Amino acid sequence: MDDFRALPPVARTLTALTFIESALVHSQTLSYYFVPFIPRLLLNFCPEIWRLCTPYLLTDPKLNFVFDLYFMYTYSSRLEFGSPRFRNPGSFFVYVLFIASVIMLTAGFYLGAGVFTQALILAFAYTYSQDNKGTRTMFFVVEIPTLFLPWARLALTFVMKGWYPASIEFTGIVAAHLYDFVTRIYPTFGGGKNYIVTPAFIQRWFTGSLRGGQERVYGQAYRPPNEGENGPRGWASSVRTVWDSRGSGRRLGGN
The per-residue pLDDT for range 196-252, each reduced to its tens digit, is: 999 999 999 988 744 444 444 444 343 444 444 444 444 344 434 334 444 444 444
Q: CA 238, CA 157: separation in Å to the nearest integer?
A: 39
Q: What pLDDT, on a 0 to 100 scale, did the predictor assign at position 57? A: 97
Domain assignment of residue 118, given as a range:
61-210
106 touches 113 (CB < 8 A): no
Whether 162 is covered by a domain: the verdict is yes
Domain count, the chain: 1
Whether 115 is covered by a domain: the verdict is yes
Q: What is the pTM of this model?
A: 0.81
Whether 30 is covered by a domain: the verdict is no
Whether 24 is covered by a domain: the verdict is no
% residues pLDDT > 90 (the chain): 66
139 touches 63 (CB < 8 A): no
Q: CA 113, CA 105: separation in Å to the nearest integer?
A: 10
Q: Model confidence at 3, in pLDDT bands (50, 70, 90)?
A: confident
- Based on its alpha-carbon atoms, the radius of gyration of the chain, rounded to whole angstroms, reads 19
